Chain A
Amino acid sequence: MAEKDVILEFLASKSAVKSKFYFKDFSDLFPEKGPREVKKVLTQLVKDEVLEFWSSGSTTMYGLKGAGKQSHTEGED
Protein backbone atom coordinates (compact mmCIF):
# COMPACT_ATOMS: atom_id res chain seq x y z
CA MET A 1 0.00 0.00 0.00
CA ALA A 2 1.30 3.48 -0.83
CA GLU A 3 2.32 5.68 2.10
CA LYS A 4 -0.44 8.11 1.25
CA ASP A 5 -3.06 5.38 1.51
CA VAL A 6 -1.66 4.16 4.83
CA ILE A 7 -2.09 7.66 6.21
CA LEU A 8 -5.61 8.05 4.86
CA GLU A 9 -6.64 4.65 6.16
CA PHE A 10 -5.26 5.55 9.59
CA LEU A 11 -7.22 8.82 9.59
CA ALA A 12 -10.40 7.06 8.52
CA SER A 13 -10.00 4.50 11.31
CA LYS A 14 -9.72 7.29 13.89
CA SER A 15 -12.33 9.64 12.44
CA ALA A 16 -14.93 8.82 15.08
CA VAL A 17 -12.68 9.80 17.99
CA LYS A 18 -10.10 12.30 16.78
CA SER A 19 -9.69 14.80 13.99
CA LYS A 20 -6.17 16.13 14.63
CA PHE A 21 -2.94 14.23 14.98
CA TYR A 22 0.63 14.87 16.00
CA PHE A 23 3.41 14.36 13.47
CA LYS A 24 4.59 11.46 15.61
CA ASP A 25 1.29 9.63 15.12
CA PHE A 26 2.18 9.40 11.44
CA SER A 27 5.86 8.59 11.85
CA ASP A 28 4.79 5.69 14.09
CA LEU A 29 2.93 4.27 11.07
CA PHE A 30 6.24 3.90 9.22
CA PRO A 31 8.77 2.52 11.71
CA GLU A 32 11.20 1.74 8.90
CA LYS A 33 11.19 5.31 7.60
CA GLY A 34 12.89 8.34 9.08
CA PRO A 35 10.90 11.43 10.10
CA ARG A 36 12.11 13.40 7.09
CA GLU A 37 10.70 10.83 4.67
CA VAL A 38 7.36 10.83 6.47
CA LYS A 39 7.36 14.62 6.40
CA LYS A 40 7.68 14.57 2.61
CA VAL A 41 4.57 12.39 2.29
CA LEU A 42 2.59 14.62 4.67
CA THR A 43 3.76 17.79 2.93
CA GLN A 44 2.57 16.41 -0.39
CA LEU A 45 -0.81 15.58 1.11
CA VAL A 46 -1.05 19.16 2.38
CA LYS A 47 -0.12 20.44 -1.09
CA ASP A 48 -2.80 18.21 -2.57
CA GLU A 49 -5.27 19.76 -0.12
CA VAL A 50 -6.11 16.38 1.40
CA LEU A 51 -4.62 17.28 4.78
CA GLU A 52 -4.34 20.63 6.51
CA PHE A 53 -2.32 21.96 9.38
CA TRP A 54 -4.00 22.84 12.65
CA SER A 55 -2.18 24.77 15.34
CA SER A 56 -2.94 26.00 18.81
CA GLY A 57 -0.18 28.53 18.30
CA SER A 58 2.39 26.49 20.20
CA THR A 59 1.78 23.00 18.80
CA THR A 60 0.97 22.00 15.25
CA MET A 61 -1.10 19.00 14.24
CA TYR A 62 -2.34 17.49 11.00
CA GLY A 63 -5.90 16.59 10.09
CA LEU A 64 -8.12 15.92 7.11
CA LYS A 65 -9.08 19.18 5.47
CA GLY A 66 -12.16 20.66 7.13
CA ALA A 67 -12.45 17.95 9.78
CA GLY A 68 -13.17 18.81 13.42
CA LYS A 69 -13.41 22.11 15.23
CA GLN A 70 -11.25 25.04 14.31
CA SER A 71 -10.94 27.04 17.51
CA HIS A 72 -9.75 25.60 20.75
CA THR A 73 -10.47 26.42 24.38
CA GLU A 74 -7.99 25.44 27.07
CA GLY A 75 -8.99 22.17 28.75
CA GLU A 76 -11.68 21.37 26.21
CA ASP A 77 -10.07 18.48 24.37
Chain B
Amino acid sequence: MAKHATPMLDELEKGPWPSFVSDIKQEAAHRAANPNGLDYQIPAEAPEDLLGVLELSYEEKETHWKHGGIVGVFGYGGGVIGRYCDQPEKFPGVAHFHTVRVAQPAGKYYSTKFLRDLCDLWDLRGSGITNMHGSTGDIVLLGTQTPQLEELFYELTHKMNVDLGGSGSNLRTPAACLGQSRCEYACYNTQDMCYQLTMDYQDELHRPAFPYKFKFKFDGCPNGCVCAMARSDFAVVGTWKDDIKIDQEQVKAYAAGELKPNAGAHAGRDWGKFDLQAEVVDRCPGHCMKWDGAKLSIDTKHCVRCMHCINTMPRALHIGDERGASILVGAKAPVVDGAQMGSLLIPFIDCSAPYDDVKEVIEKIWDWWMEEGKNRERVGETMKRLSFQKLLEVTDTEAAPYHIVQPRTNPYIFFKEEEVPGGWERDIKQFRERHQR
Protein backbone atom coordinates (compact mmCIF):
# COMPACT_ATOMS: atom_id res chain seq x y z
CA MET B 1 0.00 0.00 0.00
CA ALA B 2 1.18 3.50 -0.79
CA LYS B 3 2.76 5.43 2.08
CA HIS B 4 0.62 8.51 1.37
CA ALA B 5 -2.90 8.72 -0.05
CA THR B 6 -2.71 10.80 -3.23
CA PRO B 7 -6.25 11.13 -4.62
CA MET B 8 -5.56 14.31 -6.56
CA LEU B 9 -2.35 13.01 -8.09
CA ASP B 10 -4.16 9.82 -9.03
CA GLU B 11 -6.39 11.91 -11.29
CA LEU B 12 -3.28 12.71 -13.32
CA GLU B 13 -2.94 9.05 -14.25
CA LYS B 14 -6.22 9.06 -16.12
CA GLY B 15 -6.54 9.83 -19.80
CA PRO B 16 -4.41 8.81 -22.75
CA TRP B 17 -1.26 10.72 -21.81
CA PRO B 18 1.95 9.55 -20.19
CA SER B 19 1.84 10.41 -16.50
CA PHE B 20 4.73 11.48 -14.30
CA VAL B 21 2.68 10.25 -11.34
CA SER B 22 2.64 6.71 -12.78
CA ASP B 23 6.38 6.97 -13.42
CA ILE B 24 7.12 8.01 -9.82
CA LYS B 25 4.84 5.26 -8.46
CA GLN B 26 6.69 2.75 -10.63
CA GLU B 27 10.01 3.91 -9.21
CA ALA B 28 8.59 3.81 -5.65
CA ALA B 29 7.55 0.18 -6.17
CA HIS B 30 10.93 -0.66 -7.70
CA ARG B 31 12.81 0.82 -4.75
CA ALA B 32 10.55 -0.92 -2.24
CA ALA B 33 11.16 -4.27 -3.96
CA ASN B 34 14.90 -3.56 -4.39
CA PRO B 35 15.42 -6.45 -6.83
CA ASN B 36 19.16 -5.78 -7.14
CA GLY B 37 19.74 -5.66 -3.39
CA LEU B 38 21.19 -2.14 -3.45
CA ASP B 39 22.40 -0.45 -0.30
CA TYR B 40 20.46 2.73 -1.03
CA GLN B 41 22.45 5.79 0.01
CA ILE B 42 19.40 8.02 0.37
CA PRO B 43 16.05 6.90 1.85
CA ALA B 44 14.31 4.24 -0.22
CA GLU B 45 10.97 5.99 0.28
CA ALA B 46 12.10 9.19 -1.49
CA PRO B 47 9.69 8.69 -4.46
CA GLU B 48 6.76 7.97 -2.09
CA ASP B 49 7.51 11.09 -0.06
CA LEU B 50 7.86 13.11 -3.26
CA LEU B 51 4.31 12.13 -4.19
CA GLY B 52 3.19 12.89 -0.63
CA VAL B 53 4.60 16.41 -0.55
CA LEU B 54 3.17 17.15 -3.98
CA GLU B 55 -0.30 15.99 -2.89
CA LEU B 56 0.01 18.25 0.17
CA SER B 57 0.93 21.17 -2.07
CA TYR B 58 -2.13 20.46 -4.23
CA GLU B 59 -4.32 20.42 -1.11
CA GLU B 60 -2.89 23.58 0.37
CA LYS B 61 -2.15 25.32 -2.93
CA GLU B 62 1.32 26.32 -1.81
CA THR B 63 4.76 24.88 -2.19
CA HIS B 64 6.63 23.01 0.52
CA TRP B 65 10.01 23.36 -1.16
CA LYS B 66 12.80 25.69 -0.21
CA HIS B 67 15.74 26.10 -2.50
CA GLY B 68 19.30 27.30 -2.53
CA GLY B 69 22.47 26.53 -0.67
CA ILE B 70 25.13 24.10 -1.75
CA VAL B 71 25.71 24.53 -5.42
CA GLY B 72 27.96 21.75 -6.42
CA VAL B 73 31.11 19.96 -5.62
CA PHE B 74 34.28 21.53 -4.36
CA GLY B 75 35.40 24.38 -6.62
CA TYR B 76 32.27 24.30 -8.78
CA GLY B 77 29.79 27.15 -8.62
CA GLY B 78 26.99 25.30 -10.36
CA GLY B 79 25.60 21.98 -11.41
CA VAL B 80 23.71 21.25 -8.22
CA ILE B 81 20.61 23.07 -7.02
CA GLY B 82 19.91 22.64 -3.32
CA ARG B 83 16.32 21.63 -2.53
CA TYR B 84 14.86 21.23 0.94
CA CYS B 85 11.38 20.24 2.07
CA ASP B 86 9.81 22.43 4.78
CA GLN B 87 7.89 19.42 6.16
CA PRO B 88 10.84 17.11 6.84
CA GLU B 89 9.12 15.15 9.63
CA LYS B 90 6.21 14.20 7.40
CA PHE B 91 8.37 13.52 4.39
CA PRO B 92 11.83 12.45 5.58
CA GLY B 93 12.67 10.84 2.24
CA VAL B 94 12.73 14.26 0.58
CA ALA B 95 13.91 16.41 3.51
CA HIS B 96 16.99 17.11 1.38
CA PHE B 97 16.29 16.55 -2.29
CA HIS B 98 18.97 18.28 -4.35
CA THR B 99 18.87 18.43 -8.12
CA VAL B 100 21.99 17.52 -10.10
CA ARG B 101 22.49 18.74 -13.66
CA VAL B 102 24.72 16.65 -15.89
CA ALA B 103 25.92 17.83 -19.29
CA GLN B 104 24.17 15.98 -22.07
CA PRO B 105 26.17 14.81 -25.09
CA ALA B 106 25.89 17.04 -28.17
CA GLY B 107 22.86 16.01 -30.17
CA LYS B 108 21.81 13.79 -27.23
CA TYR B 109 23.34 10.61 -28.60
CA TYR B 110 23.70 7.95 -25.93
CA SER B 111 24.90 4.42 -25.76
CA THR B 112 22.62 2.08 -23.82
CA LYS B 113 25.60 1.33 -21.58
CA PHE B 114 25.89 4.98 -20.59
CA LEU B 115 22.19 5.18 -19.77
CA ARG B 116 22.28 1.95 -17.76
CA ASP B 117 25.36 3.11 -15.84
CA LEU B 118 23.73 6.47 -15.16
CA CYS B 119 20.54 4.83 -13.88
CA ASP B 120 22.51 2.36 -11.74
CA LEU B 121 24.49 5.22 -10.22
CA TRP B 122 21.37 7.25 -9.57
CA ASP B 123 19.49 4.29 -8.07
CA LEU B 124 22.34 3.91 -5.59
CA ARG B 125 23.13 7.54 -4.78
CA GLY B 126 19.89 9.35 -5.58
CA SER B 127 16.14 8.92 -5.75
CA GLY B 128 16.25 6.98 -9.01
CA ILE B 129 14.10 9.69 -10.59
CA THR B 130 15.46 11.55 -13.61
CA ASN B 131 14.24 14.17 -16.04
CA MET B 132 15.50 13.49 -19.53
CA HIS B 133 15.98 16.28 -20.32
CA GLY B 134 15.64 19.65 -18.53
CA SER B 135 14.62 22.77 -20.47
CA THR B 136 18.20 23.79 -21.12
CA GLY B 137 18.96 20.29 -22.36
CA ASP B 138 20.84 18.76 -19.43
CA ILE B 139 20.32 15.33 -17.96
CA VAL B 140 18.53 16.20 -14.71
CA LEU B 141 18.94 13.89 -11.73
CA LEU B 142 16.18 14.67 -9.24
CA GLY B 143 16.77 14.24 -5.55
CA THR B 144 19.83 13.41 -3.50
CA GLN B 145 21.51 14.44 -0.28
CA THR B 146 24.64 16.48 0.31
CA PRO B 147 27.02 13.61 1.29
CA GLN B 148 26.33 11.93 -2.07
CA LEU B 149 27.45 14.85 -4.23
CA GLU B 150 31.21 14.34 -4.23
CA GLU B 151 30.78 10.57 -4.64
CA LEU B 152 28.45 11.10 -7.54
CA PHE B 153 30.75 13.66 -9.13
CA TYR B 154 33.71 11.30 -8.92
CA GLU B 155 31.79 8.47 -10.58
CA LEU B 156 30.44 10.72 -13.32
CA THR B 157 33.76 12.31 -14.19
CA HIS B 158 36.15 9.41 -13.64
CA LYS B 159 34.09 6.45 -14.79
CA MET B 160 31.51 7.89 -17.18
CA ASN B 161 33.55 10.71 -18.72
CA VAL B 162 30.84 13.31 -18.26
CA ASP B 163 30.73 16.57 -16.32
CA LEU B 164 28.18 18.53 -14.31
CA GLY B 165 26.09 21.05 -16.22
CA GLY B 166 25.54 24.72 -15.54
CA SER B 167 23.26 26.47 -13.05
CA GLY B 168 23.24 29.82 -11.29
CA SER B 169 25.03 32.86 -12.72
CA ASN B 170 27.05 30.70 -15.06
CA LEU B 171 27.32 29.79 -18.66
CA ARG B 172 24.62 27.12 -18.87
CA THR B 173 25.17 23.77 -20.50
CA PRO B 174 25.39 24.53 -24.24
CA ALA B 175 22.94 22.66 -26.48
CA ALA B 176 23.01 21.75 -30.15
CA CYS B 177 20.72 20.11 -32.67
CA LEU B 178 21.96 16.81 -34.07
CA GLY B 179 23.32 18.74 -37.05
CA GLN B 180 25.38 17.11 -39.73
CA SER B 181 25.27 13.75 -37.99
CA ARG B 182 21.84 13.12 -39.47
CA CYS B 183 20.46 16.25 -41.08
CA GLU B 184 21.07 17.37 -44.66
CA TYR B 185 19.99 20.92 -43.80
CA ALA B 186 22.77 21.55 -41.27
CA CYS B 187 24.90 24.46 -42.47
CA TYR B 188 27.72 23.85 -39.99
CA ASN B 189 28.83 21.21 -37.54
CA THR B 190 26.64 22.14 -34.59
CA GLN B 191 27.76 19.26 -32.41
CA ASP B 192 31.42 20.08 -32.85
CA MET B 193 30.94 23.79 -32.18
CA CYS B 194 28.88 22.95 -29.07
CA TYR B 195 31.53 20.56 -27.82
CA GLN B 196 34.46 22.89 -28.54
CA LEU B 197 32.84 25.89 -26.89
CA THR B 198 31.86 23.77 -23.90
CA MET B 199 35.47 22.70 -23.50
CA ASP B 200 36.89 26.18 -24.15
CA TYR B 201 34.57 27.88 -21.68
CA GLN B 202 34.88 25.50 -18.74
CA ASP B 203 35.74 28.36 -16.41
CA GLU B 204 32.55 30.22 -17.34
CA LEU B 205 30.51 27.02 -16.92
CA HIS B 206 31.75 26.11 -13.47
CA ARG B 207 32.89 29.33 -11.81
CA PRO B 208 30.15 31.96 -11.84
CA ALA B 209 31.01 35.60 -12.43
CA PHE B 210 28.20 36.70 -14.72
CA PRO B 211 25.36 38.98 -13.64
CA TYR B 212 22.94 36.11 -14.37
CA LYS B 213 22.60 33.02 -16.52
CA PHE B 214 23.95 32.92 -20.09
CA LYS B 215 22.92 30.35 -22.68
CA PHE B 216 24.42 29.27 -25.98
CA LYS B 217 22.45 27.20 -28.40
CA PHE B 218 23.45 25.94 -31.82
CA ASP B 219 20.91 25.34 -34.58
CA GLY B 220 22.22 23.93 -37.84
CA CYS B 221 19.60 25.67 -39.96
CA PRO B 222 16.69 28.09 -39.57
CA ASN B 223 14.30 25.20 -38.82
CA GLY B 224 15.70 25.70 -35.33
CA CYS B 225 15.34 22.28 -33.71
CA VAL B 226 16.84 23.57 -30.44
CA CYS B 227 14.96 26.89 -30.79
CA ALA B 228 18.19 28.82 -30.31
CA MET B 229 16.81 32.18 -31.40
CA ALA B 230 14.00 31.98 -28.83
CA ARG B 231 15.76 30.32 -25.92
CA SER B 232 19.37 31.41 -25.82
CA ASP B 233 21.22 34.60 -25.03
CA PHE B 234 23.60 33.78 -27.86
CA ALA B 235 22.03 31.87 -30.75
CA VAL B 236 24.09 30.48 -33.61
CA VAL B 237 21.72 29.58 -36.43
CA GLY B 238 23.02 27.99 -39.61
CA THR B 239 22.39 29.80 -42.90
CA TRP B 240 23.84 30.17 -46.38
CA LYS B 241 24.69 33.09 -48.65
CA ASP B 242 24.22 31.78 -52.17
CA ASP B 243 21.20 30.40 -54.05
CA ILE B 244 19.03 27.54 -52.90
CA LYS B 245 19.99 24.65 -55.18
CA ILE B 246 17.11 23.54 -57.39
CA ASP B 247 16.70 20.23 -59.19
CA GLN B 248 14.01 21.14 -61.73
CA GLU B 249 13.23 17.52 -62.61
CA GLN B 250 12.45 16.75 -58.99
CA VAL B 251 10.33 19.92 -58.74
CA LYS B 252 8.26 18.59 -61.64
CA ALA B 253 7.99 15.23 -59.90
CA TYR B 254 6.55 16.95 -56.79
CA ALA B 255 4.19 19.01 -58.95
CA ALA B 256 3.01 15.85 -60.73
CA GLY B 257 2.37 14.07 -57.43
CA GLU B 258 5.13 11.52 -57.98
CA LEU B 259 6.92 12.57 -54.77
CA LYS B 260 5.15 13.15 -51.49
CA PRO B 261 5.56 16.70 -50.10
CA ASN B 262 7.29 17.06 -46.71
CA ALA B 263 8.70 13.57 -47.26
CA GLY B 264 5.26 12.13 -46.54
CA ALA B 265 5.05 13.73 -43.09
CA HIS B 266 1.39 14.71 -43.61
CA ALA B 267 0.35 11.45 -45.27
CA GLY B 268 -1.95 10.45 -42.39
CA ARG B 269 -4.84 12.35 -43.92
CA ASP B 270 -5.96 13.15 -47.47
CA TRP B 271 -5.10 16.80 -48.03
CA GLY B 272 -5.87 16.60 -51.75
CA LYS B 273 -3.46 16.91 -54.62
CA PHE B 274 -0.22 18.77 -53.88
CA ASP B 275 -0.50 22.32 -55.23
CA LEU B 276 2.99 23.72 -55.66
CA GLN B 277 1.76 27.24 -56.36
CA ALA B 278 -0.56 27.43 -53.35
CA GLU B 279 1.44 25.42 -50.87
CA VAL B 280 4.94 26.67 -51.62
CA VAL B 281 5.16 29.71 -53.90
CA ASP B 282 2.23 31.65 -52.39
CA ARG B 283 3.44 30.90 -48.87
CA CYS B 284 6.94 32.28 -49.41
CA PRO B 285 7.30 35.15 -46.87
CA GLY B 286 9.83 36.90 -49.11
CA HIS B 287 7.62 36.49 -52.21
CA CYS B 288 10.76 35.46 -54.02
CA MET B 289 9.55 32.33 -55.86
CA LYS B 290 8.01 31.79 -59.28
CA TRP B 291 6.59 28.63 -60.81
CA ASP B 292 5.59 28.70 -64.48
CA GLY B 293 4.46 25.10 -64.62
CA ALA B 294 7.82 23.91 -65.91
CA LYS B 295 10.46 25.83 -63.99
CA LEU B 296 10.81 27.02 -60.44
CA SER B 297 12.91 30.13 -59.86
CA ILE B 298 14.02 31.86 -56.66
CA ASP B 299 15.19 35.44 -56.33
CA THR B 300 17.82 34.86 -53.65
CA LYS B 301 18.15 38.48 -52.51
CA HIS B 302 14.56 38.36 -51.26
CA CYS B 303 14.83 34.92 -49.67
CA VAL B 304 14.56 35.12 -45.88
CA ARG B 305 15.75 31.51 -45.29
CA CYS B 306 12.42 30.43 -43.80
CA MET B 307 13.06 26.83 -44.94
CA HIS B 308 9.41 26.25 -45.97
CA CYS B 309 10.14 25.39 -49.61
CA ILE B 310 13.07 23.16 -48.69
CA ASN B 311 11.05 21.37 -46.02
CA THR B 312 8.17 20.82 -48.45
CA MET B 313 10.28 19.58 -51.37
CA PRO B 314 13.50 18.22 -49.85
CA ARG B 315 14.43 16.19 -52.94
CA ALA B 316 14.09 19.19 -55.22
CA LEU B 317 15.58 22.01 -53.14
CA HIS B 318 18.71 22.14 -51.05
CA ILE B 319 20.54 24.67 -48.92
CA GLY B 320 23.24 26.67 -50.71
CA ASP B 321 26.94 25.86 -50.69
CA GLU B 322 28.33 29.03 -49.09
CA ARG B 323 27.45 28.08 -45.54
CA GLY B 324 27.92 29.64 -42.12
CA ALA B 325 25.60 31.00 -39.44
CA SER B 326 23.73 34.04 -38.22
CA ILE B 327 24.17 35.23 -34.65
CA LEU B 328 21.21 36.48 -32.67
CA VAL B 329 21.60 37.89 -29.18
CA GLY B 330 19.34 38.45 -26.21
CA ALA B 331 16.50 35.90 -26.22
CA LYS B 332 15.10 35.17 -22.80
CA ALA B 333 12.04 34.20 -20.76
CA PRO B 334 10.44 36.79 -18.46
CA VAL B 335 12.06 37.80 -15.16
CA VAL B 336 13.29 41.39 -15.02
CA ASP B 337 11.65 42.25 -18.35
CA GLY B 338 9.22 40.28 -20.48
CA ALA B 339 10.15 37.48 -22.82
CA GLN B 340 12.01 38.45 -25.95
CA MET B 341 13.37 36.81 -29.07
CA GLY B 342 16.98 37.18 -30.12
CA SER B 343 17.97 40.23 -32.17
CA LEU B 344 20.04 39.67 -35.28
CA LEU B 345 23.55 40.94 -34.62
CA ILE B 346 25.63 39.28 -37.33
CA PRO B 347 23.87 37.94 -40.43
CA PHE B 348 26.68 35.68 -41.58
CA ILE B 349 29.74 34.39 -39.81
CA ASP B 350 32.26 31.71 -40.68
CA CYS B 351 31.68 28.54 -38.68
CA SER B 352 34.77 26.51 -39.41
CA ALA B 353 36.77 25.03 -36.52
CA PRO B 354 38.27 26.27 -34.20
CA TYR B 355 35.44 28.83 -34.33
CA ASP B 356 37.61 31.83 -33.54
CA ASP B 357 35.25 34.27 -35.29
CA VAL B 358 32.32 33.16 -33.17
CA LYS B 359 34.37 33.15 -29.96
CA GLU B 360 35.58 36.68 -30.61
CA VAL B 361 31.97 37.92 -30.68
CA ILE B 362 31.06 35.95 -27.56
CA GLU B 363 33.97 37.30 -25.57
CA LYS B 364 33.30 40.91 -26.55
CA ILE B 365 29.69 40.52 -25.38
CA TRP B 366 30.79 38.93 -22.10
CA ASP B 367 33.35 41.66 -21.41
CA TRP B 368 30.67 44.31 -21.84
CA TRP B 369 27.89 42.51 -19.98
CA MET B 370 30.14 41.59 -17.03
CA GLU B 371 31.03 45.29 -16.65
CA GLU B 372 27.66 46.86 -17.35
CA GLY B 373 25.04 44.22 -16.54
CA LYS B 374 23.09 44.66 -13.31
CA ASN B 375 22.58 41.79 -10.91
CA ARG B 376 20.06 39.28 -12.29
CA GLU B 377 19.99 41.05 -15.65
CA ARG B 378 20.19 38.90 -18.79
CA VAL B 379 22.22 40.27 -21.69
CA GLY B 380 18.95 40.88 -23.58
CA GLU B 381 17.88 43.24 -20.81
CA THR B 382 21.25 45.00 -20.76
CA MET B 383 20.82 45.48 -24.53
CA LYS B 384 17.39 47.01 -24.03
CA ARG B 385 18.56 49.24 -21.20
CA LEU B 386 21.74 50.52 -22.81
CA SER B 387 20.59 50.24 -26.46
CA PHE B 388 21.28 47.87 -29.29
CA GLN B 389 23.62 50.49 -30.67
CA LYS B 390 25.85 49.99 -27.65
CA LEU B 391 25.97 46.28 -28.40
CA LEU B 392 27.02 47.10 -31.96
CA GLU B 393 29.80 49.30 -30.61
CA VAL B 394 31.18 46.77 -28.16
CA THR B 395 31.15 44.01 -30.75
CA ASP B 396 32.71 46.27 -33.42
CA THR B 397 29.73 45.65 -35.66
CA GLU B 398 28.79 48.24 -38.25
CA ALA B 399 25.15 49.31 -38.08
CA ALA B 400 23.10 48.03 -41.00
CA PRO B 401 19.42 48.10 -42.02
CA TYR B 402 18.80 44.61 -40.65
CA HIS B 403 19.57 45.95 -37.16
CA ILE B 404 16.53 48.22 -37.30
CA VAL B 405 13.43 46.64 -35.84
CA GLN B 406 10.97 49.31 -36.85
CA PRO B 407 12.24 51.76 -39.45
CA ARG B 408 11.12 55.39 -38.96
CA THR B 409 8.90 54.70 -35.92
CA ASN B 410 11.85 53.93 -33.68
CA PRO B 411 15.11 54.85 -35.39
CA TYR B 412 17.40 54.00 -32.52
CA ILE B 413 20.61 53.72 -34.52
CA PHE B 414 22.36 57.07 -34.55
CA PHE B 415 25.46 57.96 -36.48
CA LYS B 416 28.41 59.46 -34.68
CA GLU B 417 30.17 62.46 -36.14
CA GLU B 418 33.27 60.46 -37.03
CA GLU B 419 31.14 58.02 -39.02
CA VAL B 420 29.76 60.75 -41.30
CA PRO B 421 31.99 61.98 -44.18
CA GLY B 422 32.80 65.62 -43.43
CA GLY B 423 31.45 65.43 -39.86
CA TRP B 424 28.75 67.73 -38.39
CA GLU B 425 30.56 71.04 -38.76
CA ARG B 426 29.57 73.24 -41.69
CA ASP B 427 30.99 76.40 -43.11
CA ILE B 428 28.20 78.92 -42.52
CA LYS B 429 29.53 81.26 -45.24
CA GLN B 430 29.42 78.51 -47.84
CA PHE B 431 25.98 77.53 -46.57
CA ARG B 432 24.68 81.09 -46.93
CA GLU B 433 25.95 81.25 -50.48
CA ARG B 434 23.51 78.49 -51.28
CA HIS B 435 20.71 79.41 -48.85
CA GLN B 436 19.21 82.85 -48.19
CA ARG B 437 18.63 83.87 -44.62
Name B168's contact: one of A42, A55, A72, A73 (CB within 8 Å).
Answer: A55
Residue A70 at the chain B interface, CB threshold 8 Å? yes
- Write the chain A residue with the least CB distance to B374: A24
Range of interface residues on B (Cβ < 8 Å): 20 to 34
- Write the chain A residue with the least CB distance to B80: A55
> Would A70 and B68 count as touching, CB distance under 8 A?
yes
> Would B71 and A54 count as touching, CB distance under 8 A?
yes
Residues of B within 8 A of A22 (CB): 211, 375
Q: Which of A1-49 contact B (CB under 8 A)?
A: 22-24, 27, 34-36, 38-39, 42-43, 46-47
Q: Quick one: given A24-B375, A35-B371, A58-B213, are A53 and B67 in contact (CB under 8 Å)?
A: no
> Would A46 and B71 count as touching, CB distance under 8 A?
no
> Would B86 and A73 count as touching, CB distance under 8 A?
yes
Expressed in whole angstroms, the Cα–Cα distance for A39 and B82 within the complex equals: 23
Q: Mark A47-71, 1 if CB is under 8 A from B, else 0.
A: 1000001111111100000000011
Secondary structure dominating the interface of A:
mixed
A-B contact count (CB 8 A): 94
Secondary structure dominating the interface of B:
loop
> Would A71 and B68 count as touching, CB distance under 8 A?
yes
Expressed in whole angstroms, the Cα–Cα distance for A53 and B375 within the complex equals: 16
Expressed in whole angstroms, the Cα–Cα distance for A58 and B167 within the complex equals: 6
Q: Which of B71-109 contact A (CB under 8 A)?
A: 71-72, 75-78, 81-82, 84, 86, 99
> Would B207 and A54 count as touching, CB distance under 8 A?
no
Residue B364 at the chain A interface, CB threshold 8 Å? no
Name B209's contact: one of A35, A70, A71, A72 (CB within 8 Å).
Answer: A35
Q: Which of B44-78 contact A (CB under 8 A)?
A: 66-72, 75-78
> Would A71 and B67 count as touching, CB distance under 8 A?
yes
> Would B68 and A53 count as touching, CB distance under 8 A?
no
> Would B66 and A71 count as touching, CB distance under 8 A?
yes
Residue B388 at the chain A interface, CB threshold 8 Å? no
Q: Mark B200-212, 1 if CB is under 8 A from A, else 0.
A: 0000000111111
Expressed in whole angstroms, the Cα–Cα distance for A59 and B214 within the complex equals: 11
Range of interface residues on A (Cβ < 8 Å): 20 to 34
> Would B209 and A42 count as touching, CB distance under 8 A?
yes
Q: Mark B394-432, 1 if CB is under 8 A from A, else 0.
A: 000000000000000000000000000000000000000
> Would A57 and B167 count as touching, CB distance under 8 A?
yes
> Would A23 and B208 count as touching, CB distance under 8 A?
yes
Expressed in whole angstroms, the Cα–Cα distance for A46 and B77 within the complex equals: 10
> Would B68 and A54 count as touching, CB distance under 8 A?
yes
Residue B170 at the chain A interface, CB threshold 8 Å? yes
> Would B69 and A72 count as touching, CB distance under 8 A?
yes
Q: Quick one: given A47-B75, A71-B84, are A59 and B212 in contact (CB under 8 Å)?
A: yes
> Would A46 and B208 count as touching, CB distance under 8 A?
no
Expressed in whole angstroms, the Cα–Cα distance for A42 and B375 within the complex equals: 17
Binding site for A on B (CB under 8 A): 66-72, 75-78, 81-82, 84, 86, 99, 167-170, 207-213, 367, 370-371, 374-376
User: Could you write out 26 A-B pairs with CB less than 8 Å apart?
Assistant: A22-B211, A23-B169, A23-B208, A35-B209, A35-B367, A36-B370, A43-B207, A46-B77, A47-B75, A54-B71, A55-B77, A55-B78, A55-B82, A56-B168, A57-B81, A57-B168, A58-B167, A58-B168, A58-B376, A59-B169, A60-B169, A60-B208, A70-B68, A70-B69, A71-B69, A73-B86
Binding site for B on A (CB under 8 A): 22-24, 27, 34-36, 38-39, 42-43, 46-47, 53-60, 70-73
With A53-B168, A56-B68 known, 13 other A-B pairs at CB within 8 A are: A23-B210, A27-B370, A35-B370, A35-B371, A36-B209, A36-B370, A53-B78, A54-B69, A55-B208, A57-B67, A60-B78, A60-B168, A71-B66
